[in-house]
Amino acid sequence: QKEVEQNSGPLSVPEGAIASLNCTYSDRVSQSFFWYRQYSGKSPELIMSIYSNGDKEDGRFTAQLNKASQYVSLLIRDSQPSDSATYLCAVYNNNDMRFGAGTRLTVKP
């Protein structure tokens, strides 16, 4: 069974801090990696995609991928209370998308 593991949290950071969210996956040949944000009671929203080793930055978000370690992370700089949500990691290979259970992030004013 292909697994995607995330720390369920909750992760609590003060406003303005960096939030670091982590994800590991078991399928070594996974090709594409995604981070979704899901507010309580709402559907997931795609916020980052990453396909190659290294960092990818988009505004306050940075995704980091290390395929050798089977590890993908999401950094949120200057965290805001509006970033409080559950963040889902998703891993794709060959028509198969696997989701982690999510990490709940709380940003305290």
As a whole number of angstroms, the distance between CA 93 and CA 95 comes to 6
One-letter amino acid for residue 96 of the chain: D
Supply 95's token pair.
């028509």
Q: How far is the CB of 109 from other proteins (least distance, A)?
A: 27
- Parallel, antiparallel or unpaired: strands 4-6 and 71-76: unpaired
Task: Work out which of 47, 72, 74, 88 binds other proteins, going by CB under 8 A.
Answer: 88
**Cβ distance 15 to 80 under 8 Å?**
yes
As a whole number of angstroms, the distance between CA 8 and CA 105 comes to 9
Cβ-based nearer residue to other proteins, 15 or 96: 96
Task: Work out which of 28, 42, 77, 108 binds other proteins, going by CB under 8 A.
Answer: 42
Task: Determine, following the binding rule CB under 8 A, whether residue 32 of this chain makes contact with other proteins.
Answer: yes
Cβ-based nearer residue to other proteins, 69 or 95: 95
Q: How far is the CB of 55 from other proteins (least distance, A)?
A: 17
